[in-house]
Amino acid sequence: MSLFSEGEPIRDTRAPDGSIKGRWDQRRFGGKLVNPANRRKLSVIVVGTGLAGGAAAATLGELGYHVKSFCYQDSPRRAHSIAAQGGINAAKNYRNDGDSIQRLFYDTVKGGDYRSRESNVYRLAQVSVEIIDQCVAQGVPFAREYGGLLDTRSFGGVQVSRTFYARGQTGQQLLLGAYQALERQVAAGTVEMFTRHEMLELIIVDGVARGIIARDMVTGEIETHTADAVVLASGGYGNVFFLSTNAKGCNVTATWRAHRKGALFANPCYTQIHPTCIPQSGEHQSKLTLMSESLRNDGRVWVPVEKGDTRKPADIPEDERDYYLERIYPSFGNLVPRDIASRAAKNVCDEGRGVGPGGLGVYLDFQDAIARLGRDAVAGKYGNLFEMYERITGDDPFEVPMRIYPAVHYTMGGLWVDYDLQSTIPGLFVIGEANFSDHGANRLGASALMQGLADGYFVLPNTISDYLAKGPYEKIDDDHEAVVEARASVTDRIEKLLSIDGDRTPDSFHRELGAVMWEYCGMERTEEGLRKAIDRIRELRAEFWSSVKVPGENEELNQNLEKAGRIADFLELAELMCIDALHREESCGGHFRAESQTPDGEALRDDENFAYAAAWEYTGEAPVLHKENLEYEYVKMTQRSYK
């Protein structure tokens, strides 16, 4: 049986025609509006309270809709957007350095390796300017110049300084801004907040999204929440790899449940792997921590020339070190883009030259920088990062080279949405990292925060009114057939999980799944490996459903029950990721197929055959592929080169 079949192509019908510059204006003008007096009669469920979900819930509340906001954490302020370090891009051109909306648009499309939708990306660049205004008005403490004006820096290899930042905690400060706006609406009574609640199913009535089934994680109560529209802002699925820079709770359940109910899932194989993370220290490792990319500005990456060299780094003489990035990429050296640096590290470790426990690490050495700039200057630039590194590893980077290794960081894929950010299920909107819309096959640094807030503050609140204007929809009772069915599927699943009483913990499955995904669907993918992975994932899934042991009961705080449910969904998503990676026989952005590379080992795109977004339909059997053809009217496709 083949792994998938191909269905009808899919197309975005919401973006207006005409010049790309005027499309967003046109769309806002063309959409229906809701009379302010009627808005409180319309309800919207927002799942997730990160930058996208928090901003959307707050803004919809301000507009006067009745919003129900859900998060699995104990407070909306803890969503994982909070961990973003670098900054947020905006085409303000405050530096007068040639930036513009057009350039941000161009950089984003190119950075995405020509696998994103032009209309959406152009709108993102347009809206970026308003985001900064909004955040400043909320009191977000962005970095300032001496004169009191906003500071910016260049980030991620672009040539303009368009990244606004708040020390190394930009995500935190932006999220707190959205969180405070959200809490203001909670106090105003427009937003009802449900913390420690996890969405476990989508309610669909007559083909339209009408609500969710959520579990109160404290009491175990299975709750039905209905509304006129549902917004998923539940983040990415990087935790399918078990080890990633995501928070432990990040999961795919909300989007996967929607996918199973008919929402197409696009480009699941596009994952971004960040080269500078602190490597695993042992079997017990539970997550990976990102170290700022800026470290590569002064650190030199190397491994021993000899395999299995266990000498201390200081004992390895200069001529027995391989500064492989400088060797392979003489012009960019240690500053090659994320995907290239990551893959090169993997290659040297695969050769058996990796350092540290398990041979999964490469040195990032500051000895030259210390000799050249002096210890104080290095401390001034990287002091807090060195401290963070020492806190985790116990090693002082002034004395011993850092060890770094790539880790899964962001997932570009997600539920397929149109220009309105509406999925293929009417009434189901998807925003932020949960959708697939703006980053193509690779996301640029400092663009995740931009997209989350663009979707949440500006795009969704405008596009959703066109949908809501057709409401209010008929009230759904708890005994409606669709509700009963959705509830039953949730309770059946929970009962099943609790009743298996096998001999393996949920985490043991997650670890094993992660290892398979990292090995075969990680930095480098091959047909053979992906086929192997699909087989293994299927076995693992069967094993999970026969031998997982979930302790405790539903009617209590049960963290292992939560985990088990999420892992069950990861076990299904993982297969789709591998199928997507297998079918895309080209390399692009975060997806590197060993079979598709240039003679000197670089990613080779196949625009002829793969210039489309792959949107997958769930069938329960082999998924059905719907292609959205990507047309580039404004940006010309070219091959990237960093040699």
Partner 1 sequence: MKLTLKIWRQRNAADKGRMASYELDDVSPDMSFLEMLDVLNERLIIEGDDPVAFDHDCREGICGMCSLVIDGTAHGPQRATTTCQLHMRHFKDGDVITIEPWRASAFPVIKDLVVDRSAFDRIIQAGGYVSAPTGSAPEAASIPIPQADAHDAFDAATCIGCGACVAACPNASAMLFTAAKITHLGLMPQGQPERYGRVTAMVDQMDAEGFGGCTNTGECTSVCPKGIPLETISRLNADLLKATAKG
Partner 2 sequence: MSWTYQKIGHMFRNVSSVSRSTPVAAPRRPQAPSTAALPRRLYRSSVGKKAVMAVTGGILVLFLVGHMLGNLKVFLGRADFDHYAHWLRTIGEPALPHRVFLTIMEAVLTVAVILHMWSAVSLARRARQARPVRYAVRPKAQEHRYATHVMRYGGIIILLFVIWHLLDLTFGVVNPKSGGAEPYDKVVADFDPSRWYITVFYVIAVVMVGLHLKHGLWSAFQTLGWGRQRRYRGLHLFADVVAALLVIGFVAVPVMVTIGVVK
Instruction: Give the SS3 label for residue 356.
Output: coil
Residue 218 binding partner 2, by CB under 8 A: no
Q: Report the 10 Å Cβ neighbour count for 359.
A: 18
Quick check: 179 binds partner 1 (CB under 8 A)? Answer: yes
Nearer to partner 2, 195 or 560 (CB): 195
The listed partner (partner 2, partner 1, none) that binds 143, CB under 5 to 8 Å by sort, is: partner 1
Question: Taking contact as CB under 8 A, which single stretch among the options 140-148, 182-190, 365-373, 592-600 is the one that binds partner 2?
Answer: 182-190
Q: 3-class DSSP state for residue 188? A: helix
Nearest Cα neighbor of 69 from 185, 148, 159 is 185
149 near partner 1, judged by CB under 8 A: yes
Nearest to partner 1 of 19, 286 (CB atom): 286
Return the bridge partners of 144, or none.
150
Closest Cα to residue 442, out of 206, 114, 196?
114
Size, binding site for partner 1 by CB under 8 A: 82
Residue 256 Cβ vs partner 2, minimum distance, rounded to whole Å: 32
Burial of residue 312 (number of CB atoms within 10 Å: 0-12, 13-18, 19+): exposed
**Residue 196: CB minimum distance to partner 1, A:** 8
Task: Please check whether residue 355 is in contact with residue 314, taking contact to mean a CB–CB distance below 8 angstroms.
Answer: no
Please identify, among the stretches 181-189, 223-231, 315-323, 531-539, the one whose residues bind partner 2 according to the rule CB under 8 A: 181-189
Phi then psi for 67, rounded to 5 degrees?
A: -110, 140
Closest CA to 583 of 609, 601, 602: 609
For the four alpha carbons of 62, 67, 72 and 75, in that order, the dihedral sign comes to: positive
Cβ proximity of 62 and 87 under 8 Å: no
Site membership for partner 1, residue 176 (CB under 8 A): yes
Tell me the closest approach of the beta carbon of residue 279 to partner 1, in angstroms: 11
Placement of tokens 């930058």 in the chain: 51
* Neighbour tally for 136: CB within 10 Å: 14
Q: Identify residues 26-55 at the interface with partner 1 (CB under 8 A).
A: 55
Asked if residue 464 lies in contact with residue 32, where contact means CB atoms within 8 angstroms, the answer is: no
Nearer to partner 2 by Cβ, of 188 and 637: the residue is: 188
User: Is the Cβ of residue 186 or residue 476 nearer to partner 2 in the bound state?
Assistant: 186
Residue 62's binding partner out of partner 2, partner 1, none, with CB under 5 to 8 Å set by partner kind = partner 1
Three-class SS of 362-423: EEEECHHHHHHHCHHHHHHHHHHHHHHHHHHHCCCCCCCCEEEEEEEEEECCEECCCCCCEC
Q: Which stretch binds partner 2 (CB under 8 A): 63-71, 180-188, 385-393, 596-604?
A: 180-188
Please, which of residues 435-474 interact with partner 1 by CB under 8 A? 457-458, 461
In single-letter form, the type of residue at position 61 comes to G
- Of 16, 38, 102, 186, the one binding partner 1 (CB under 8 A) is 186
Determine the distance from the C-alpha atom of residue 129 to the mean position of all C-alpha atoms in its chain, rounded to a whole number. 22
Which one, 294 or 489, has the nearer CB to partner 1?
294
Residue 488 host element (H or E): helix 481-500
Looking at beta carbons only, is 505 or 597 nearer to partner 1? 505
Q: Are 349 and 360 in contact (CB under 8 A)?
A: yes
Which of 183-191, 497-505, 521-529, 581-589 is the region at the interface with partner 2 (rule: CB under 8 A)? 183-191
* Distance between CA atoms of residues 618 and 204, nearest Å: 15
Residues 74-133 that bind partner 1 (CB under 8 A): 74-78, 80, 82-83, 92, 94, 130, 132-133
Binds partner 1 by CB under 8 A, chosen from 26, 102, 289, 489: 289
Q: Is 48 left (phi over 0), alpha (psi -120 to 50) or beta?
A: left
Q: Which residues pair with 69 in a beta bridge?
A: 46, 193
Told to check if 284 binds partner 2 by CB under 8 A, we report no
Of 161 and 334, which CB lies nearer to partner 1 in the complex structure?
161
Q: Identify the active-site residue in 338, 403, 443, 605.
A: 338
Q: Given the complex with partner 2, which of 137 and 187 has the nearer CB atom? A: 187
Shortest spacing between CB 184 and partner 2, in angstroms: 8
C-alpha dihedral, 545 to 548 to 551 to 556, nearest 10°: -40
Contact set for partner 1, span 554-583 (CB under 8 A): 556-557, 559-560
SS3 300: strand
**Which residues, 329 to 368, sit near partner 1 by CB under 8 A?**
357
| 186 is a contact residue toward partner 2 (CB under 8 A) | yes
CB 13 within 8 Å of CB 415: no
Examine residue 169 and tell whether it contacts partner 1 (CB under 8 A): yes
Stretch that binds partner 2, among 32-40, 167-175, 186-194, 329-337 (CB under 8 A): 186-194
**Are the CB atoms for 438 and 273 separated by under 8 Å?**
no
Q: What is the footprint of partner 1 within residues 507-536 (CB under 8 A)?
A: 507-508
Q: Which of 187, 282, 319, 481 binds partner 2 (CB under 8 A)?
A: 187
What is the helix (H) or strand (E) element at residue 154, kind and residue range?
none
Site string for partner 1, 187-226 (x = CB under 8 A): x-----x-x----------------------x--------
What is the closest distance, in whole angstroms, from the C-beta atom of residue 134 to partner 2 in the complex? 21
**What is the spatial distance between Cα 472 and Cα 310, in angstroms, rounded to a whole number?**
68
- Is residue 338 flagged as an active site residue? yes
Least Cβ distance, residue 187 to partner 2 (angstroms): 6
In a 10 Å sphere around its CB, with 0-12 CB exposed, 13-18 middle and 19+ buried, how is residue 170 labelled? buried
CB of 195 to partner 2, least distance (A): 12
* Binding characters for partner 2, 129-168, by CB under 8 A (x = yes): ----------------------------------------
CB of 286 to partner 2, least distance (A): 20
State whether the Cα torsion 121-126-129-134 is positive or negative: negative
Q: Which residues are catalytic?
A: 338
Q: Which residues contact partner 2 by CB under 8 A?
A: 186-189
